[in-house]
Amino acid sequence: MIDHFGVQVRDVDTSAAFYLKVFAPVGFREAMRIPVGDTAVVGFSGPDGNPQFWISPFEPGTEPSRGLHIAFPAADRDQVRAVHAIAVADGIEVLHAPREWPEYHPGYYAVFLRDPDGNNVEAVCHH
């Protein structure tokens, strides 16, 4: 249903480092970096190499918004736990430690974190 999506961030390099490190267990990698002035727009992919998640600098004069929620797929529960371990080791705010969320559906196992811009980001396994 979704081809790709992007979010604006305060600091592209800081956010890129966050996503590359924390979501490495689920296969995150930088697929493209397009220079824009003194910063860049960065496209991330999974193992297939197709950039589907993009970050870019805020447009001049705009304010960041909060409340964005993004869930990235994990192949298994070990990947979810690995994302959590990286977050804890780096002092990243953990909103919800890994656990099953049966109210969503049986087998929904996820960790929820706060990214550098305050967004709620998740690694989730559905089995």
**pLDDT tens digits, residue range 21-52?**
999 999 999 999 999 989 999 999 998 899 99
The number of CA neighbours under 13 Å toward the Cβ of 51 is 12
Neighbours of 2 (CB within 10 A): 6
What is the reported pLDDT for 66?
64
* Six-digit token string for 115: 């990214």
Residue 65 has pLDDT above 70, yes or no: no
Taken in order of first residue, the domains within the chain and their CATH numbers are 5-58+68-125 (3.10.180.10)
Q: What is the DSSP string of 30-86?
A: EEEEEEETTEEEEEEE-TT----EEEEEPPTT-------EEEEE-SSHHHHHHHHHH
How far is CA 118 from its chain centroid?
Answer: 12
Distances (CA, A) of 33 to 3, 12, 44, 75: 18, 10, 9, 26
pLDDT, one tens digit per residue, over 103-124 is 999 999 999 999 999 899 999 9
Q: What integer is the mean pLDDT of 59-65?
A: 71
Average pLDDT of the chain is 92
Rounded to two decimals, what is the model's pTM?
0.90
Residue 56 has pLDDT above 90, yes or no: yes
